[in-house]
């Protein structure tokens, strides 16, 4: 870095660098966070979509099995309703023939007319027919398979007579079938001829009809774009797939996929779980000739030994995920672009703010530089209100205090200089006064000597002697004054000796009255019996003179009163014993 770089420029560089680095760091972490969210969202999307598709096919299969279970549960009720309605129709036909012909035809003729009317009637795809018997149990209507009719006994006839109608269930060998089959019949009593008329149906025939209806219903089930149901038996006989009934076609128990997985056997193992299970294998899609991985859910219906399932292709899931992933990528890219734009706007805003702050700081620094340039020559202060920041205002107050302190110091120096000059004058005066006093003292010596000699020549009490004595008193006063002047001007090592300070104070006051102007009144406040002090008379004299001179300088313009006091100090308090 340059040695002569300015503070404001350094501030601008540091702040700009900090902003750029912060911008890059924040942008990196922000964008990284968005990318991480994108990755997590894709994973979550795949899992959720896969689970939702699994849930979808599971629900479709369970609805189909529930429908099969419900349809089977209605077989017996449906059979009873059907044969009851058919029997009621037959009795109605017989009653109508009887009522229409009883007055014009014989009973034998009417019986023949009824039997001829009921015998040819067929229903339920040709399986259903009517049968009748008299009170002795003799069969009156002979079907094409007379062995399959009901065999009556007296007890059964008596029951019908008592209740008028009823259902009977029994097992019999079905024509064309092996083993016994459950058959249900409905019989009504025809009172005019004491006949019993009825019809019946094998329960498994009804269930086959219901199975066909269920197959017709399930092949129409569709979900998603091309989802469908499929089913086969526990032994691998196909029932339906992809909207087509395949019942009666080739067994698929040994059929394998491209990887050799036996699909029907895999599904048979899965339906051992009462709640069903998922299986995976390869299967050819409708719009493609190549097998694709497929996930299917199969569930069994043990009563009919059916395996019902539905599936989804893994590549279709990936296609959907890919489309949604593209949407997420576009959304995330737009979000990242917004982040970059936001950070860019923030960077520009901060740059403008930093520029403004930099300009204000530079302006404040320029004011301070000009202030310090002027401070060397003038005492002009800086105005804190013109500065923009509190720190600069504090510095301005400190700088103004510095100027004020400098003015005080300069004034003090000026006053000290005046005092020094005054002291030098006093020293020069003292030196001059010392020389004059020495010379004057030499003059006083012969004057006092001759005056003493003259006084001795005059008698006591004479006027001349008194006048001479006055001359000696005046000379003595002059000598004392000369002694004071010589004391004031004399220099040497201090010599302390016991002295009464009141006498020294009075001598200094006399000297001060002679030198101070009349505007300054000198007053003494000296207490009695102040005792003596161990002092150097010359230094005490000089110190007292300096103190009074300083006071004189303070009162020089307006005048005043200078009071010199002397008092005996209070004795110190003695320490208690043992202290």
Is the distance from CB of 187 to CB of 166 less than 8 angstroms? Answer: yes
Task: Report helix, strand or coil for 329.
Answer: helix
Is the distance from CB of 14 to CB of 6 less than 8 angstroms? Answer: no
E strand or H helix at 282: strand 277-284
One DSSP character per residue, 5-59 reads --HHHHHHHHHHHHHHHHHHHHHHHHHHHHHHHHHHHHHHHHHHHHHHHHHHHHH
514 strand-pairing partners:
none
Angle between helices 7-73 and 203-218 (to 10 degrees): 150
Is the distance from CB of 371 to CB of 399 less than 8 angstroms? Answer: yes
Higher pLDDT, 470 or 428: 470
Higher pLDDT, 123 or 332: 123
Distance CA(81)–CA(83), nearest Å, equals: 6
| CATH class of the domain defined by 74-209 | alpha beta
Distance CA(41)–CA(327), nearest Å, equals: 12
E strand or H helix at 405: helix 390-457
Fold equal for 74-209 and 496-568? no
Is the distance from CB of 292 to CB of 285 less than 8 angstroms? Answer: yes
Average of per-residue pLDDT across 165-189? 79
Distance CA(128)–CA(117), nearest Å, equals: 15
Pick the range with the lowest mean pLDDT from 65-69, 82-86, 343-347, 562-566. Answer: 343-347
Higher pLDDT, 354 or 145: 354
* Amino acid 153: pLDDT: 54
The residue behind tokens 């009162």 is 555
Distance CA(97)–CA(91), nearest Å, equals: 10
* Amino acid 572: pLDDT: 55
- Domain ranges in the chain? 74-209, 380-491, 496-568
When pLDDT is cut at 50, 70 and 90, the band that residue 403 belongs to is: confident
HEC per residue, 292-315 = EEEEEEEEEECCCCEEEEEEEEHH
The percent of residues in the chain predicted with pLDDT above 90, rounded, is 17
Distance CA(320)–CA(310), nearest Å, equals: 19
When pLDDT is cut at 50, 70 and 90, the band that residue 231 belongs to is: very high
pLDDT value at 314 more than 70 = yes
Q: What is the pLDDT of residues 43-86, one digit of tens each?
A: 777 777 778 888 999 999 999 999 999 998 888 888 889 999 99
Architecture (CATH level 2) of domain 496-568:
2-Layer Sandwich (3.30)
């Amino acid at each position: 870095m340059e040695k002569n770089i300015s503070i404001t420029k350094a501030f601008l560089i540091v702040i700009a660098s900090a902003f750029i680095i912060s911008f890059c760091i924040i942008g990196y972490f922000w964008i990284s966070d968005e990318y991480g969210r994108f990755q997590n969202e894709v994973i979550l999307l795949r899992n959720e979509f896969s689970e939702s598709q699994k849930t979808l096919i599971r629900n479709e299969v369970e609805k189909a099995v529930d429908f099969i279970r419900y349809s089977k549960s209605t077989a017996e009720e449906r059979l009873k309703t059907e044969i009851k309605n058919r029997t009621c129709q037959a009795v109605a036909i017989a009653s109508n023939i009887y009522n229409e012909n009883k007055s014009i035809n014989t009973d034998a003729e009417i019986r023949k007319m009824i039997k001829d009317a009921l015998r040819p009637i067929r229903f339920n795809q040709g399986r259903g027919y009517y049968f009748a018997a008299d009170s002795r149990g003799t069969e009156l209507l002979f079907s094409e398979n007379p062995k399959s009719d009901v065999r009556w006994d007296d007890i059964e006839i008596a029951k019908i007579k008592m209740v008028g109608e009823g259902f009977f269930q029994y097992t019999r060998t079905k024509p064309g079938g092996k083993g016994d089959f459950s058959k249900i019949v409905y019989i009504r009593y025809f009172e005019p001829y004491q006949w019993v008329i009825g019809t019946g149906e094998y329960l498994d025939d009804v269930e086959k009809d219901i199975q066909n209806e269920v197959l017709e219903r399930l092949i129409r089930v569709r979900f998603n774009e091309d989802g469908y149901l499929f089913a086969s038996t526990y032994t691998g006989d196909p029932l339906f797939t992809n909207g087509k009934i395949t019942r009666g076609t080739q067994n698929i128990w040994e059929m394998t996929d491209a990887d050799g997985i036996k699909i029907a056997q895999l599904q048979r193992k899965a339906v051992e779980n009462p709640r069903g299970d998922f299986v995976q294998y390869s299967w050819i899609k409708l719009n493609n000739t190549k097998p694709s991985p497929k996930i299917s859910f199969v569930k069994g219906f043990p009563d009919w030994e059916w395996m019902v399932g539905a599936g989804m292709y893994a590549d279709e899931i990936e296609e959907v995920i890919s489309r949604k992933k593209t949407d997420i990528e576009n959304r995330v890219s737009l979000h990242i672009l917004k982040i970059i734009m936001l950070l860019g706007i923030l960077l520009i805003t901060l740059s403008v703010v930093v520029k403004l702050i930099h300009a204000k700081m530079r302006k404040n620094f320029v004011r301070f530089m000009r202030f310090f340039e002027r401070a060397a020559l003038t005492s002009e202060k800086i105005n804190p209100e013109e500065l923009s920041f509190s720190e600069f205002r504090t510095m301005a107050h400190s700088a103004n205090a510095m100027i004020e302190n400098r003015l005080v110091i300069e004034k003090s120096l000026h006053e000290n200089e005046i005092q020094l000059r005054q002291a030098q004058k006093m020293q020069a005066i003292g030196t001059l006064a010392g020389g004059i006093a020495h010379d004057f003292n030499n003059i006083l010596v012969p004057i006092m000597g001759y005056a003493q000699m003259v006084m001795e020549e005059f008698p006591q009490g004479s006027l001349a002697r008194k006048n001479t004595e006055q001359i000696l008193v005046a000379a003595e006063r002059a000598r004392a004054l000369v002694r004071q002047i010589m004391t004031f001007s004399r220099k040497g090592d201090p010599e302390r000796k016991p002295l009464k300070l009141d006498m020294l104070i009075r001598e200094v006051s006399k000297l001060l009255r002679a030198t101070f102007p009349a505007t300054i009144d000198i007053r003494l406040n000296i207490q009695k019996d102040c005792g003596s002090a161990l002092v150097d008379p010359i230094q005490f004299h000089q110190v007292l003179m300096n103190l009074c001179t300083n006071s004189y300088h303070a009162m020089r313009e307006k005048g005043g009163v200078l009071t010199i006091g002397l008092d005996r100090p209070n004795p110190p308090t003695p320490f208690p014993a043992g202290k």
